[in-house]
Structure 1
Amino acid sequence: MRSARRHVIDTDGRMVPVDVQRRNNVVVTGRADGPTLLLAHGFGCDQHLWRLVAPRLAERFRVVLFDHTGAGKSDRSAWSAQRYASLDAYAEDVLLLCRELDLREVVLVGHSVSSMIGVLAANREPDRFAGLVLLAPSPRYLDDDGYRGGFSRDDIDELLASLESNYLGWAATMAPVIMGTPDRPELGEELTNSFCQTDPAIARVFARATFLSDNRADLAAVTVPTLVVDSAQDAIAPPEVGRYVRDQIPGSTLVTLDTTGHCPQLSAPEAVVDAISVFTDAL
């Protein structure tokens, strides 16, 4: 991989150089001659949550893993509350990473909030992407007239208040609910541990950027082939949301996995690998 310097605008409006590979803990694995998959993790997680699907995908594809700025083993000194108060900065990070590695014809696989980060990135530079795989996506978590996101405003306010007042307690309570696999408590524990490794200050800002976002208007602008993958039961993104995303993105397709929970890459990794592979092979 090349080691070049890209630039971002800091909180004072100045252009500053960034070592993207170091900042986002970029890891490239798999077949150098295969199609490129860029795996983007969701809120409170890092690239480790792809651990059950990445090795299988690497048998046939070039797989690029990274940590969002502020997550995992990224350079946390590069994070600022002002820059990362919206999903736009995360989308720009994805594009910087693609430029740094000179990635083209990329299939971006975005989990949860990263599905919308992927949408934003692909809408800005569609020629760079061969396709999008939106895993458990939600363009808006809040219910609205004619739209069910799964949460009322009171629900979101309570969630954010709990997260801000006692992040570790929130993580221990919410992670098993998000995972949705009470018969496999070890998966809920893994997600809890992932949440607990996140800096609470960073988590609070990312949570607001995530749960108060509304990217519904961005869906119709997607021009690259898109696969929507959701679970039959998901407390965070109910099935209505997957159908809504499918209906709003022109030409997209929907695969609903026979699984529960918001993290099928952990609870049903084989099915996720199969869905990604079939979609990518058809491009």
Structure 2
Amino acid sequence: MTTGKLDGKVALVTGGASGIGKAVCERFAQDGARVIVADLDGARCEAVASEIGGGALGLALDVTQQESIDAVVRQGIEATGGVDILVNAAGIYDVQSILEVTRERTSRVFQVNIDGVIFMSQAVARHMVERGQGGRIINFSSQAGRRGEGPAVAYCASKAAVISITQSMALDLIRHGINVNAIAPGVVDTPMWDVVDAKLGAREGLQPGDVKKRVAAAVPAGRFGYPAEQAAMAAFLAGPDAAYIVAQCYNVDGGNVMS
């Protein structure tokens, strides 16, 4: 049973094999879209596509490689007839304070979190413009991109960049009927946050789970968010009710940041 709000639409979701990206795939399928699940692990993409059904397609994608981006966009278009919605949910986290940061690790974070968004969006936007039917692009930033985190300087910089990239793309593409917006999640209970908990906990000599408990207690809502709550905002931005929303970044964070 679908809501029908995305009936007839095709959505390509990067980072779609787990966490927030997977939740977006599930929600979009629920709303009637045909979903292309794209992530590094091709087998996992195919498994998620099989789980959500609706003609979903699973494709291996490395957003740091232009050849991979071009191949996935081409295969997705050939299989579905055209992409109406792109969600850039692929991203990586790294713990590096300003005293520890290295060029190599920073470059890797930027390649995935910044370059991946730019060049994935470019490839899909070119298709959308040529097709002439408009479209939606939704980027995932982070509250770390709004307020910073001491031991994650490269990650915070990359997520701040996503907000600026979203604004620039939006102003450039709206004349083609392509709405570009972003979502800034707060702390969300995903496999990535298990990694964050382990890395930060090891730095501070804490037990597994201690960082997550401390962080959850600091959220005004008193808990971690759920991936499905981020997916609900993505579904809204992808749907007809968001037609006049352009170049915005929405906080879905339990009250961590007020704007």
- TM-score, normalized by length of structure 1? 0.40
Larger relative helix fraction: 2
Q: Normalising by structure 2, what TM-score?
A: 0.43
